[in-house]
């Protein structure tokens, strides 16, 4: 697909420039034509369709670098509790039909696209017994809508209760529903069936984290990912409880352990990274691992503030994620970028270290691409890179009066400001509307398949809360009603 965006504002080293951007059909990969940035300069000839860029800002697409799409079915539903209890309630009410997964993946993609994202990393919760169908449903949704998808099936080989430190207790845990070997075999099958980068679908190997995975599972994932140069993904030290647990489990920090078994690499992205110490940070820098910052989820679950300014100073690559929609409870990437940027101003009194809006944009785009090992193809307005682009309407009321466009975008609260989105040169949002699916229909389906609730009772929470409070040093009295 050839097209030329005329008279569009782009950021340049000193301020902004008004330019034309030519996009031309690149080497067609498989059946899917791709477009490449051919030239960026004022007064270029129009190749293909002309797109009016006047009073608009063009940026590389952002990456929603960590989410769990099917959590959308429970957004707004779980009360304010920490991760370990939240997770127990989440799994008590998890959706069980692949069709639900399809719909929530569409919903996740719509919100990501309309907040500047062109790629999504879906750490996808698998429906027990319907694992392949779950992945197939997500693949179908993302291909239908046209967002670039990085599907990271969430795997583990230990039961939920194993994710909470023992403390003095000597607890037994149920055997997990699927063996390590079966899980690895499943993943081999998923990779074989669904990993088709040329069609916009990538599979990542993604054990949920040290809290629920054996070394054997991590090692199997390393092997599978190395075989085809796939990326790896995982949660890492999201909560204080997980830090405690790592000490119990390994006698060292989780980061040291993951380094030792070889999980960290330039192809590894790690969600959260809230509870790392300075030695851990040095290891992330040394292994060129990527931190995915999920600020809203970290606040909502009371996990803490990830030391993002320290990561940046140590040269660790950082990108942004929304995290799943029950711990956020949205998939608005611009919201995550804003809060994930300004939150850190309270952690360092020297404002020369604070994240600037331009840095935020680079973290969300190039940082996201780097974490997926695709910095040479995506993440910046660079000749030769793929046309994953977002056009913002600077006449939108939420971006007025006119000042610094990127300042407005990152620090403000842009509403309906995305005019167009292209992924691989295909325009999947135009005039602020998704063109590839019927959003009204999606809305009707989501409405019809749900109901308003107030409080609901999670049985698992009642079972584990007393132990959680004990081991975390919280007063015994009053459990959650």
How far is it, in rounded angstroms, from Cα 45 to Cα 48? 10
Is the distance from CB of 204 to CB of 152 less than 8 angstroms? yes
Pick the closest to residue 136 from 183, 103, 98 (CA basis). 98
As measured in angstroms, the least distance from the Cβ of 31 to a copy of itself is 31
Instruction: Considering only the stretches 7-15, 141-149, 263-271, 384-392, report the one whose residues sit in contact with a copy of itself under the rule CB under 8 A.
Output: 7-15
Nearer to a copy of itself, 375 or 394 (CB): 394
339 binds a copy of itself per the rule CB under 8 A: yes
Is the distance from CB of 336 to CB of 63 less than 8 angstroms? no
478 binds a copy of itself per the rule CB under 8 A: yes
* One of 300, 370, 385, 426 touching a copy of itself (CB under 8 A): 300
* One of 227, 260, 413, 433 touching a copy of itself (CB under 8 A): 413
428 binds a copy of itself per the rule CB under 8 A: no
CB neighbour list of residue 438: distance below 8 Å, 6 or more residues apart: none
299 binds a copy of itself per the rule CB under 8 A: yes
79 binds a copy of itself per the rule CB under 8 A: yes
As measured in angstroms, the least distance from the Cβ of 160 to a copy of itself is 18
82 binds a copy of itself per the rule CB under 8 A: yes
431 binds a copy of itself per the rule CB under 8 A: no
Both tokens of 420, joined, read 């167009």
- E strand or H helix at 422, and its extent? strand 418-423
Nearer to a copy of itself, 112 or 202 (CB): 112
- Cα 187 to Cα 108, 158, 210: the distances in Å are 23, 17, 18
* One of 28, 193, 247, 450 touching a copy of itself (CB under 8 A): 450
Nearer to a copy of itself, 81 or 152 (CB): 81
31 binds a copy of itself per the rule CB under 8 A: no
Nearer to a copy of itself, 93 or 250 (CB): 93
* One of 183, 298, 317, 365 touching a copy of itself (CB under 8 A): 298
* One of 27, 401, 431, 476 touching a copy of itself (CB under 8 A): 401
How far is it, in rounded angstroms, from Cα 71 to Cα 105? 10
Question: If you write DSSP's letter for every residue of 177-223 in order, what string do you get?
Answer: SS-HHHHHHHHHHHHHHH-BGGGTEEE-BEE--TTT--HHHHHHHHH
Nearer to a copy of itself, 48 or 412 (CB): 412
What is the total count of residues that contact a copy of itself (CB under 8 A)? 90
As measured in angstroms, the least distance from the Cβ of 111 to a copy of itself is 7
385-407 burial string, b = 16+ CB within 10 Å, else e?
bbbbbbbbbbebeebeeeeebbe
Nearer to a copy of itself, 172 or 346 (CB): 346
Where in 125-154 is the site for a copy of itself (CB under 8 A)? none
Task: State the alpha helices, DSSP H only, in 12-154.
Answer: 83-92, 98-113, 131-145
305 binds a copy of itself per the rule CB under 8 A: yes
Pick the closest to residue 156 from 172, 174, 176 (CA basis). 176
Three-state SS at 372: coil
Where in 163-182 is the site for a copy of itself (CB under 8 A)? none
How far is it, in rounded angstroms, from Cα 331 to Cα 116? 11
470 binds a copy of itself per the rule CB under 8 A: no
How far is it, in rounded angstroms, from Cα 151 to Cα 121? 6
Nearer to a copy of itself, 30 or 79 (CB): 79
- Cα 210 to Cα 173, 228, 412, 418: the distances in Å are 16, 23, 37, 38
301 binds a copy of itself per the rule CB under 8 A: yes
463 binds a copy of itself per the rule CB under 8 A: no
Question: If you write DSSP's letter for every residue of 36-57 in order, what string do you get?
Answer: EEEEEETTPPP-SEEEE-TTEE
475 binds a copy of itself per the rule CB under 8 A: yes
As measured in angstroms, the least distance from the Cβ of 110 to a copy of itself is 7
Nearer to a copy of itself, 251 or 473 (CB): 473
Other residues' Cβ atoms within 10 Å of the Cβ of residue 75? 17
How far is it, in rounded angstroms, from Cα 331 to Cα 177? 30
Nearer to a copy of itself, 175 or 346 (CB): 346
323 binds a copy of itself per the rule CB under 8 A: no
Question: If you write DSSP's letter for every residue of 326-344 in order, what string do you get?
Answer: TTT----HHHHHHHHHHGG
Nearer to a copy of itself, 249 or 338 (CB): 338
CB neighbour list of residue 435: distance below 8 Å, 6 or more residues apart: 427, 428, 429
Instruction: Considering only the stretches 34-42, 67-75, 159-167, 243-251, report the one whose residues sit in contact with a copy of itself under the rule CB under 8 A.
Output: 67-75
């Amino acid at each position: 697909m050839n097209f030329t965006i005329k008279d569009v504002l782009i950021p340049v080293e000193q301020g902004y420039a008004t330019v034309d951007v030519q996009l031309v059909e690149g080497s067609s990969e498989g059946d899917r034509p791709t477009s490449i940035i051919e030239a960026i300069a004022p007064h270029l000839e129009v190749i293909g369709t002309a797109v009016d860029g006047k009073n608009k800002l063009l940026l590389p697409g952002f990456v929603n670098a960590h989410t769990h799409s099917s959590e959308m079915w429970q957004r707004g539903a779980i009360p304010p509790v920490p991760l370990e209890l939240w997770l127990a309630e989440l799994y008590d009410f998890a959706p069980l039909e692949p069709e639900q997964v399809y719909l929530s993946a569409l919903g996740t993609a719509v919100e990501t696209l309309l907040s500047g994202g062109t790629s999504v990393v879906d750490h996808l919760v698998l429906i027990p017994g319907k694992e392949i169908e779950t992945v197939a449903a997500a693949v179908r949704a993302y291909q239908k809508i046209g967002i670039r998808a990085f599907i990271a099936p969430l795997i583990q080989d230990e039961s939920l209760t194993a994710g909470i430190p023992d403390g003095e207790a000597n607890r037994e845990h149920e055997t997990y529903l699927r063996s390590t070997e079966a899980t690895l075999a499943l993943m081999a099958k998923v990779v074989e069936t669904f990993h088709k980068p040329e069609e916009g679908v990538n599979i990542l190997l993604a054990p949920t984290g040290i809290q629920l995975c054996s070394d054997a599972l991590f090692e199997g994932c390393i092997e599978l990912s190395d075989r085809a140069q796939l990326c790896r993904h995982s949660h890492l030290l999201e909560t204080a409880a997980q830090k405690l647990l790592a000490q119990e489990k390994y006698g060292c920090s989780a980061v040291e352990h993951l380094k030792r078994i070889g999980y960290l690499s330039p192809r590894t992205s790690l969600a959260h990274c809230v509870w790392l110490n300075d030695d851990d940070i040095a290891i992330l820098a040394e292994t060129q691992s990527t931190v995915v910052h999920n600020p809203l989820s970290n606040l909502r679950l009371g996990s803490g503030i990830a030391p993002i300014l320290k990561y940046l100073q140590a040269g660790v690559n950082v990108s942004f994620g929304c995290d799943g929609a029950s711990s956020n409870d949205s998939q608005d990437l611009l919201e995550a970028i804003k809060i994930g940027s300004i939150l850190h101003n309270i952690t360092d009194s020297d404002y020369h270290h604070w994240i600037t809006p331009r840095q935020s944009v680079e973290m969300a785009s190039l940082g996201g691409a780097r974490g997926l090992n695709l910095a040479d193809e995506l993440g910046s307005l660079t000749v030769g890179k793929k046309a994953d682009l977002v056009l913002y309407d600077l006449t939108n009321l939420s971006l007025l009066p006119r000042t610094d466009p990127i300042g407005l975008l990152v620090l403000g609260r842009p509403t309906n400001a995305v005019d167009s989105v292209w992924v691989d040169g295909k325009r999947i949002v135009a005039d602020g509307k998704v063109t590839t699916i019927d959003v009204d229909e999606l809305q009707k389906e989501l409405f019809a398949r749900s109901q308003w609730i107030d409080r609901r009772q999670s049985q698992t929470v009642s079972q584990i809360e007393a132990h959680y409070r004990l081991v975390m040093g919280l007063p015994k009295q009053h459990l959650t009603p």
